[in-house]
Structure 1
Amino acid sequence: MRKTLVLAIAAAAMLTAACNTISGAGRDVSAAGRAVSGAADDAKR
């Protein structure tokens, strides 16, 4: 019983950390997309 509880807590911690990592990666990709769009707009002018 205790081993199962420890594993469940560890799994929950890993899932929480993974969500934060994916969220951060999404923000990074979004920022890169904005930079590319800005550079393209500047090249048009």
Structure 2
Amino acid sequence: MFKRTIAVAFVSLSLLAVTACNTVEGAGKDVSSAGRAVSDAADDSK
């Protein structure tokens, strides 16, 4: 039973880690996109 508990905990933590990586990657893309928009707006106002 103890091995099963550890296995379930390991799988759960692995899934959380993968989900967190995808979330951070998506947030990074959003921030990058916003930065490009600000940069383009600054270039247009010159």
Shorter-normalised TM range: over 0.9
Residue identity over aligned pairs, in percent, reads: 52
**Structure 1 portions without partners, runs of 5+:** none
Match of 1:21 among 4, 20, 23: 23
Within 2, Cα distance between the matches of 1:38 and 1:11?
40
Equivalent runs, 1:1-45 vs 2, <5 Å: 1-44=3-46
- Residue 22 of structure 1 deviates from its aligned partner by 0.3
Compute the TM-score of the two structures, normalised by the length of structure 1: 0.96
Q: CA deviation at 1:21?
A: 0.2
What is the count of residue pairs matched by the alignment?
44
Query: Cα RMSD between the aligned structures?
Result: 0.3
